[in-house]
Chains A and B, each alone.
Chain A
């Protein structure tokens, strides 16, 4: 029974990691951009929700609806004025620019909010649990996982059933020919990053209600997110969910043996998967 419990916890934790990773996967898939500031942007989102709840007294689940458009706009501006200028065949400039961005965001948050731990309070729901068969699961983790599935489902719908999604895929395939179709890659990329930050805001909601956060925890989240994206395979959003679950389950299993082994177990799972499948579990056919 303990194993089933651990696996269940791991699965749900995977949902959180999938939420961290989904925005990253979108951006990585469309423009091959490695955004090293993604983790810090999630933390920024958490602080934004915190600020809104402090200022308005709204519940975090409501505040997120105000934070999301703001984060979309931030993503749009970031892509248009900063990242679009360094996108190209060389991977180094975007890597370094987002590195710089990560440092700036972390320290700006530090200046603004100090290093004190913060938390978003969702109220009594945080302590509630539900019984599904033999296992007892927290309501919040289940909600997190359900949100992850919903987000990825919606993103997939956008990707495969809308004109915007077609533009995403075409631009990702061949930006020059896409321009011949009248598509402006710069705008497509801005849309993608905006969307990614909306997803990041949802991730921030669950991160912030689940545990304490402070300006410095961004990079670790980034690492888990990237592990999930890479395990899943470039361009596959459901793959990202799978990747998140792999990391989550590995961490849960490792932690159940020895709490100090939690993160290490996740890393080892990552290494093993990549040794067997260097391109991830569900990579795109054409890359």
Chain B
């Protein structure tokens, strides 16, 4: 039988890992917000999306979080007229990535908030553990 406080720490750790994976994907999207192709008419960078899933851990009897899959966003690309660009097609239009800065920044804020909440759980579980150990300390 596993100590429930230890389960709490493990579940929170799985949450931390999932949120940091999400942060990675978001930063990838932000960094490539203007990455175009380099041959005429080529597709630019496609925005990646990440989704989470609850995974039952039989040994602990608790649900861990894991990254379900990383997909690409099927939204249409932004098109800009820039005939001098190496990726411009015959009409002079360049396809730009379907990354919306505002959405990505909102995502970063949410990731940050969720990460902080998980961290808070780890802190509290640790303080509960040390309170129990302190019972042994002779006063």
Do A and B come together as binding partners? Answer: no
